[in-house]
Structure 1
Amino acid sequence: MERRILFTIMLTSFLTPFAGSALNLALPSLGEAYGASPAALGWVLGSFLLAAIVVLLPFGKLADRYGKRRFFIMGNGIFALTSLLAAFAPNLPLLLAARAAQGIGSAMTFATSMSILTLVIPKERRGWAMGWNVAVVYTGLTLGPVAGGFLNYYYGWPSIFIVLAMIGGTAFLAARRFLQEEWYEDTSPHWDKKGAVLYGGAILLIIYGLSQLNSQPLAPGLLLGGLVLFFLFCRYELRQENPLLPITLLQGNLPFSLSCLAALLNYCGTFAASFLLSLYLQSILGMTSRSAGLILLSQPIIMALLSPLMGKLSDKYAPTKLAALGMAVISAGLAGFALTIHNLALWLMIPMLIITGTGFALFAAPNNNAIMSAVEKKHYGLAASLLSSTRLVGQVLSVALMNLILSLSWDGLSLQETLLQNLQLALLFFALLSGLGVIPAKVRQ
């Protein structure tokens, strides 16, 4: 039964990265179908991300209260249903609404999948299970562009959502069949409704403000307002008996807090790197999107192949040491890209992609294992929610920082020279961020 539950969770974990990477290639076709601008098309991905981040932490708390199995099954069902709605959306606003609802469904599975895995798999095999779970995430990233391009070319962009609905429906049926136990962790008669509202409002303002810094004059004010609201949320949580976010847990559990910080730095320092490298291959080296995609595939393939092994190693050796090594390797790989980018040499790309892919594999599953092993059973739901939240927030921060760096101008340089200069600067900055991730990993040892 353990392996069947692991299969179900892996199927769900495959969905979101596969959907995001597959839809990336279909955005031009979506723009033609709806007559939408590139900025509007950005919200096909952004609406999903924003909705998921806002509700993720509250859903983790509610799942502890009303049952993790119930929320996991509902999340898969919502994802499958809204995928069908997206496939037949008659206009862009309805498509964006369906994508936001997809984000809500995914948040329900994000908030529960890792905690269910931790509850079901014994501690001595937990890293192995998490390694396989991370492997399917990278498999989704690998197959997404290939499958998305094929489906979009031969059957049109709605076919991508139909396939997502089929996979989501399979995960829904598998969860109903294989998840027999209901898990409750929160028996308190009250839950923190006001805290959930404060948190949701703060995260909404912060993420939207960050994403619009380069295009909206009100964005800095929204970002500042979100930070103030988040500060008020933290003060409020300190006074609650059953808070949405137990600040005292973060203060008193250094391994857990530092592992979450390491995850935030990892996703912040790496999420935008694939876009930067794709831009380099196509805009600087003049490659087609197909050829660039095939070259970039080498990284997630390495990640998918090595993650189960690294997860298994984290059951035998300190996961914090493996994660710290992973961050150092990622930093070295990104620095290698930055220092050789002016050589315009394609042959240097593959070794660097293999290095960074190995670093990702060293970091992801061991760090997940460290986070879930650092808390008591009653906090598994919170730990899983925070892990997913740090991943999503890190991704948003990564894109915002990338946009800021790419918007820099340099006197005396042509457009292509400016782009090359900014690409190098961005890669160096993200290498530094990844290097900083080694610090919390070392301290928590």
Structure 2
Amino acid sequence: MPNEKRAVLIAAGLSSFLTPFMGSALNVAIPVIGRQMHATAVTMSWVISAYLLTSAVFLLPFGRLADMLGRKRVFLMGVALFGLSSLLCAVSSSIEILIASRAIQGIAGAMVFGTAVSLITSAIPPGERGKALGINTATVYVGLSVGPAVGGFLTQTLSWRAIFVIVAALAGITWLYAQRIRSEWSPAQGERFDTAGAVLYCLALTLLLSAASWRHTGIALAGMAVLLLVVFAVREAREEHPLLDLHLFRNSTVFTFSTLAALLNYGATFSIGYLLSLYLQTIRGFTPQEAGLLLLIQPVVQAGFSPLAGALSDRHEPRMVASVGMLLTTFCLLAYASMPYRANLAFLVTVLAASGLGFALFSSPNVNAIVSAVSGTRYGVASSVVSTARMLGQSLSMAMIVLIFTLTMHGLPLSPSYGEELFRSMRVAFAVSTVLSLLGVFASLARGRMHHSS
């Protein structure tokens, strides 16, 4: 069993490194891609949003399928598709093809996200789970740390396409290593898949997350999405084998408010790296490599403190550890919202480091609280709910950026000539994010106590 646990930890850790590495590296490359493909600020935001949208939409269905067909099997298929779609991104000849390839990559990401944490919770006992999740979270932040520096170097010296080539190679290595996992976990084997519920769910989220891009019909689309979600919830309450077991929320205050806190946290914070990359390169004139080196401060701090935060949540109430982290994050967002047009380097370094600490204190304790609040047969669905909350929050964060850029940039390109317009848009985005983060603090505190297994 120790060898089994090690294999699961390494395979999940590699996949957890892979996706944030790509995302953080791509953030640094966005201004260069925009110039080379002559795309507007709004269009470029879809290079990020397309991936997030499909990931958020398909996470829950793939989590359910993983419980039915086997968590390792779905994980392996997801890693393989992720590598292939990365190659499609690398050879994209237009911004439209790149966005479409990113959407496919998001589907693959959903297959990986929906199973990686459940693999860990299946193989690791409760008393060691917080530490294991902390280590896994640390690999996420190592990916985030390496990504900006490597992405900046590759973009400046070779091409932004090299980022996707490296991601494809890493996906191949991850797939080969995951083959070493011998056990399989399929606790819902033989149960029926809720196809109608999955269609309702996917359609509702697609309408909701894309509503911000449609200036004149966005409200109508959002209204339709809410209506479909209500129909979905009513159906799931009556379904024998639901896509989303609503009892997870009804029976556990810890699960409900921890999930809400995750949604608000990622909704408030995901766009930080994207916006700061635009700020540093478009307004301040940093090279991609210089911007990448500065942006790695935040994830390096995250990576260093995540295992400690996970271990703390094994011994102390996760809600307190996570709430302190989210409160610190709120102050950092407020600092970004009020920073001057040419903020000095010491200010940026300080706030980046503080936000890294805040993220570390929130993330792994919050995941530990969520997965420890459900039974073993629901780890796959719970893992998918965690990941869906994260991806939905990230998608909403980028949808907010799309909406703000649409209203304030008016189709303007990413250019130093329009730095004032870009900066005003950034400050509005950071102000909205500050409010979301503050709401997340209250959600985190409201979850109640979590009783650890002895």
Report the TM-score, using the length of structure 1 for normalisation: 0.89
Per-residue deviation, residues 211-249 of structure 1 (Å, max 9, x unmatched): x04xx4233322221221111111111121111112232
Q: Work out the number of aligned pairs and report it.
A: 437
* 2:183 paired residue number: 181
Change (3 A) 1:393 1:94: same
1:97 to partner: Cα distance: 3.8
SS at match of 1:382: helix
**Could you say which residue in structure 2 is the equivalent of 1:21?**
24
CA distance in 2, matches of 1:245, 1:51: 18
Q: Quick one: which amino acid aligns to residue 181 of structure 1?
A: S
Query: Offset of 1:205 from its aligned partner?
Result: 0.9
Further displaced range: 196-205 or 154-163: 154-163
- The alpha-carbon distance between structure 1 residues 272 and 32, as it changes in their structure 2 partners (threshold 3 A), is closer
Amino acid at match of 1:387: V
Moved more, 422-431 or 32-41: 32-41
In the alignment, the residues of structure 2 paired with residue 39 and residue 198 of structure 1 have an alpha-carbon distance, to the nearest angstrom, of 28
> Does residue 10 of the first structure (1) align with residue 8 of the second (2)?
no
Q: Supply the distance in 2 between the matched residues of 1:101 and 1:142 (Cα, whole angstroms).
A: 25
Task: Supply the AA of the counterpart residue of 1:98.
Answer: S
**Corresponding residue number in structure 1 for 2:351:** 352
Instruction: Give the aligned partner of residue 412 of structure 2.
Output: none
More off after superposition, 36-45 vs 251-260: 36-45
Offset at residue 439 of structure 1 (A) = 1.5
Match among 161, 165, 168 for residue 162 of structure 1 = 165
CA displacement at 1:91 relative to structure 2 = 5.0
The 1:288–1:88 alpha-carbon spacing in structure 2 relative to 1, beyond 3 Å, is closer
- The structure-2 alpha-carbon separation of the partners of 1:87 and 1:407, relative to structure 1 and needing over 3 Å to count, comes to closer
Taking the aligned partners of 1:190 and 1:61, their CA distance within structure 2 comes to 10
Change (3 A) 1:42 1:424: closer
Q: 2:50 aligns with which of 41, 47, 53?
A: 47
Letter in 2 for 1:70: R
Corresponding residue number in structure 1 for 2:439: 436
Q: Which residues of 2 match residues 42-81 of structure 1 at below 5 A? A: 42-81=45-84
TM-superposed deviation, 1:416: 6.5
CA contact (8 A) 2:82 2:168 kept: yes
Task: Report the AA paired with residue 444 of structure 1.
Answer: R
Alpha-carbon shift at residue 402 of structure 1 (Å): 3.9
Deviations 1:321-360 (A, max 9, x none): 1111111111122223444547944322222222211111
Q: 1-side partners of 2:230 and 2:196: how far apart?
A: 14
Sort the Cα spacing of 1:122 and 1:208 in 2 relative to 1 into closer, same or farther, 3 A: same
In structure 2, what is the equivalent of residue 86 of structure 1?
Answer: 89
Structure 2 CA distance, aligned partners of 1:42 and 1:416?
Answer: 17
Displacement, 1:271?
1.3
Partner of 2:254: 255
Tell me if the contact between 2:49 and 2:398 (Cα under 8 Å) persists in the aligned partners.
no
The secondary structure found in structure 2 opposite 1:437 is: helix
Higher relative CO (CA 8 A, sep ≥ 6), structure 1 or 2? 2
Could you say if the C-alpha distance between residues 146 and 113 of structure 1 is closer, same or farther in structure 2, counting changes exceeding 3 Å?
Answer: same
Question: Does the 8 Å contact 1:188/1:242 carry over to 2?
Answer: no
Distance 1:314 1:34 in 2: 46
| 1:423 to partner: Cα distance | 4.2
d(CA) in 1 for partners of 2:188, 2:175: 24
Question: Which piece of structure 1 moves more, 350-359 or 93-102?
Answer: 93-102
In the TM superposition, residue 429 of structure 1 has moved relative to its aligned partner by 3.1
Give 1:191's aligned residue.
193
* Pairing of 1:303-382 with structure 2 (within 5 A): 303-341=302-340, 344-382=343-381
| CA deviation after TM superposition for structure 1 residue 168, in Å | 0.3
> How many Å separate the matches in 2 of 1:38 and 1:281?
15
Q: Does residue 110 of the first structure (1) align with residue 109 of the second (2)?
A: no
Letter of the structure 1 residue corresponding to residue 226 of structure 2: L
Q: Distance in 2 between matches of 1:157 and 1:328?
A: 36
- Offset of residue 186 of structure 1: 1.0
For the 8 Å contact 2:210–2:399, the answer to whether it is kept is: no
Segments of 5+ residues of structure 1 without an aligned counterpart are 410-414
1:286–1:75 Cα change, 3 Å: closer
Report the secondary structure of 2:179's partner residue: helix
**Per-residue deviation at 1:420?**
5.3
Question: Distance between the aligned counterparts of 1:60 and 1:399, measured in 2?
Answer: 24
The AA in structure 1 aligned to 2:368 is N
> For residue 273 of structure 2, what is the aligned residue in structure 1?
274
* Structure 1 residue 283: Cα displacement: 5.7
AA in 1 matched with 2:203:
G
RMSD (Å) for aligned C-alpha atoms: 2.6
For 2:103, the aligned partner's letter is: A
- Helix, strand or coil at the partner of 1:156: coil
Structure 2 segments unaligned to the other structure (5+ residues): 409-417, 449-454
Which letter does structure 2 place at the counterpart of 1:197?
Answer: V
Query: Displacement of 1:174 after TM fit?
Result: 0.5
When residues 95 and 440 of structure 1 are mapped into structure 2, their CA distance, relative to the original with a 3 A threshold, is closer
TM-superposed CA distance for 1:142, in Å, is 2.0
When residues 234 and 135 of structure 1 are mapped into structure 2, their CA distance, relative to the original with a 3 A threshold, is same
Q: Which amino acid aligns with 2:197?
A: G
Deviations along 1:365-400, one digit per CA (max 9) or x if unpaired, are 110111110111111111111111111111122223
Change (3 A) 1:245 1:68: same
Paired AA for residue 150 in structure 2: A
